[in-house]
Amino acid sequence: MDIRNNPSPSLLDRMRAHRLTTTFTLLATLSIGILVGSVITQNVSGKEQSVDTSDAKPIVIPSPVTLSNGFAQIVKEVGPAVVNINTEEIPKPTANRRNRRGMQQSPDDGDDSQQGDMQDFFNRFFGGQGGPDDGDGVAGAERRALGSGFIVDPRGYIITNNHVVDKADKIFVKLSTDPDNQVGNEGRPAHVIGVDKDTDIAVIKIDTDKPLPTIKLGNSDGAQVGDWVLAIGSPFSLSQTVTAGIISAKDRSIDERGPNGLSQSQFQRFIQTDASINPGNSGGPLVNMAGQVVGMNTAIYTQSMGSVGLGFAMPSNTIAKIYNMLIGPEHKVVRGSIGISFQSGVSSAVNRMYGISSGVIVSTVTPTGGAAKAGIKPGDAIISIDGRDIKGGDDLVNDISARKVGSTVKLGYLRDGKKAVADVVIGDRAKTYAELAGGGDDDDSGPATSDAGKTTLGITVSTIPPAIASRTGISKGVIVTTVRPGSFADEIALGKGAIITEINKKPVTDEASYRAIVSTLKSKDDVVFVIHSPLQKNSGNTYVGGTLP
């Protein structure tokens, strides 16, 4: 009898059998689960069931709790002194009020002569709400605008921005206790006590039969970057709006310059904050954690007229100084002046040419000013005041403007590399500034040009056309007719239309003298031009220069 041996199953066969067993087990388990779930839920419906909630406890709102940040307490203390300011400008026929840039004029456009190209990016927020000009100089309705302010004297004296009340025919003030949006109640009439356009500060007053709540000014010199601050005002007509942030920078300036190159903001040094500031906040207080005003919200940096986290406030120390002068007998601010304009921020090549490391180079000297009478001339470099070295233009302006009109100051200066000292009498800046400003109209030029220096400098020049010579009072020199892109002249911002009167301290009287000077220039030489605007008379010297490649 044959006996057969059954071989044991292989490892692969055992794995296959085990996998099938596992699969069937899982399927069976899932089937049972589905069956049980169906049985359990067969009596469940979507209708609400009757449930006994007698054991549920109702929610109880707790008593108000004062938080530790202190913001609420500060707002309670200073809020009543913050006011809403509404203004009206009655339409007046004009020849043509077209904006100088061809853009629609908005209510926050001030005097065109006081605006610079920075205004496209740096918008004063007047917060206008209507009444635009129709383009032909006749407005169809009253121009209304909105701003803020704060009471500093219980008799009704209020500080705000000049651009809030500038050109307004009617000014109305609403206190924090006055009803909002009440028909026929525009607020309490106010009148202007005094304004200072240079710092954009104004003082107005309302009549009152009882003392009004006030807010105290603090010392802005003590404010530090990183300090908490609150901005209070009426953004977008929303009165008593509070936003919080920190001081993000100090001593900020916005270098807006007029067509004559004179700074329009020499006396504006701002506190920068990221506290949200919007149209209508203008003139409102920036308050520290002690409940004191350290600044007045004045401007925002924006390209959309909305807050982007960059707001600027005029420091309280400046506000107090201007306020005290505006409430004085003359109701105006008097600043000292020596009757010059100067150029700051010149290149190192210009400084080397004039032998200075700090100081300013005189561009224009007013004939009737103290500097002219003391013998100061264009091209002199002022380096000290009463024996103290000056750091730059801001240092000079701040020192001179704070001095009393009629007093005398010793100016140290350099002329042709030699030091000298002059006793200069301080004059009234308001009276001398107009002579520095000048004026003029556009014109065309046209004679034949010279290409001498085209290779070296990248420009062509011509004689000064008679019309421009008559307008500017400059008959000797040459005018730039073309500038090659990427050239040396282009790199140092020597532009088309500039009148050149000096190169490296050598006078340029005509094309021949220009060619003679240019022919001596070589690579690595410092080249400094004295140029003038072709649009104005008494435009003053402007210095541009650099090192030839």
Instruction: Please determine, for residue 315, whether its predicted confidence score (pLDDT) is greater than 90.
Output: yes
Residue 204 is which amino acid? Answer: I
Domain boundaries, the chain: 70-94+103-333, 336-437, 449-547
Q: What is the mean pLDDT of residues 139-148?
A: 66
Give the active site residues. Answer: 163, 200, 282
Count CB-CB contacts under 10 A for residue 130: 11
Instruction: Please determine, for residue 516, whether its predicted confidence score (pLDDT) is greater than 80.
Output: yes
CATH says 70-94+103-333 is which class?
Answer: mainly beta
pLDDT at 193: 92
pLDDT at 439: 41
Least reliable range by pLDDT among 106-115, 324-333, 343-352, 478-487: 106-115
Match 């007029």 to its residue by tokens. Answer: 258
- Nearest-angstrom CA–CA distance, 481 and 438: 24
Instruction: Please determine, for residue 457, whether its predicted confidence score (pLDDT) is greater than 80.
Output: yes
Task: Assign 234 a pLDDT band (cuts: 50, 70, 90).
Answer: confident
Count CB-CB contacts under 10 A for residue 455: 10
Q: Following DSSP, what letter does each residue of 347-368 receive, concatenated? A: -HHHHHHHT-SSSEEEEEE-TT
| Mean per-residue pLDDT of the chain | 77
Instruction: Please determine, for residue 292, whether its predicted confidence score (pLDDT) is greater than 90.
Output: yes
The distance of Cα 226 from the centroid of its chain, to the nearest Å, equals 20
Identical fold for domains 336-437 and 449-547, yes or no, is: yes
Under a CB-based contact definition with an 8 Å cutoff, are residues 461 and 453 in contact? yes
Task: Assign 89 a pLDDT band (cuts: 50, 70, 90).
Answer: confident
Give 422 or 70, the one with higher predicted confidence: 422
pLDDT at 28: 66
What's the 3-state SS for 316-345?
Answer: HHHHHHHHHHHCCCCCCCCCEECCEEEECC
Q: pTM of whole model > 0.95?
A: no
CA distances from 73 to 67, 150, 290 (A): 9, 18, 10
List, for residues 18-47, the tens digit of each pLDDT value.
Answer: 666 666 666 666 666 666 555 555 555 545
User: What size, in residues, is the chain?
Assistant: 549
Backbone angles phi, psi at 330, to 5 degrees: -90, -15
Half-sphere exposure of 229 (CA within 13 A, CB side): 35
Q: What is the mean pLDDT of residues 396-409?
A: 90
Two tokens at 247? Answer: 């001081």
Two tokens at 298? Answer: 């004045």
Under a CB-based contact definition with an 8 Å cutoff, are residues 422 and 397 in contact? no
Residue 343 is which amino acid? Answer: Q
Task: Assign 8 a pLDDT band (cuts: 50, 70, 90).
Answer: low
pLDDT at 23: 64
Q: What is the mean pLDDT of residues 486-490?
A: 87
Match 């002068």 to its residue by tokens. Answer: 325
pLDDT at 342: 81
Instruction: Please determine, for residue 126, whether its predicted confidence score (pLDDT) is greater than 70.
Output: no
> Which DSSP symbol is given to 114?
G
Least reliable range by pLDDT among 182-186, 212-216, 260-264, 406-410: 260-264
Which distant-in-sequence residues (6+ apart) come within 8 Å of 469 by Cβ?
A: 475
List, for residues 326-384, the tens digit of each pLDDT value.
Answer: 999 888 888 899 988 886 656 677 777 777 777 888 888 888 889 999 999 998 889 89
- Nearest-angstrom CA–CA distance, 246 and 358: 34
pLDDT at 420: 92
CA distances from 496 to 44, 461, 510, 532, 538 (A): 88, 9, 17, 11, 19
Give 330 or 81, the one with higher predicted confidence: 81
Q: What is the mean pLDDT of residues 153-158?
A: 95
The percent of residues above 70 in pLDDT, for the chain, comes to 70
Two tokens at 426? Answer: 């301080």
Report the topology of domain 336-437: Pdz3 Domain (2.30.42)
Q: Under CATH, which number does the domain 449-547 receive?
A: 2.30.42.10
CA distances from 196 to 15, 193, 527 (A): 96, 11, 41
Q: What is the mean pLDDT of residues 392-415?
A: 89
- Nearest-angstrom CA–CA distance, 160 and 293: 13
Q: What is the mean pLDDT of residues 477-500?
A: 89
Instruction: Please determine, for residue 189, whether its predicted confidence score (pLDDT) is greater than 60.
Output: yes
- Nearest-angstrom CA–CA distance, 308 and 300: 8
Count CB-CB contacts under 10 A for residue 537: 15
Least reliable range by pLDDT among 27-36, 97-106, 461-470: 97-106
pLDDT at 323: 94
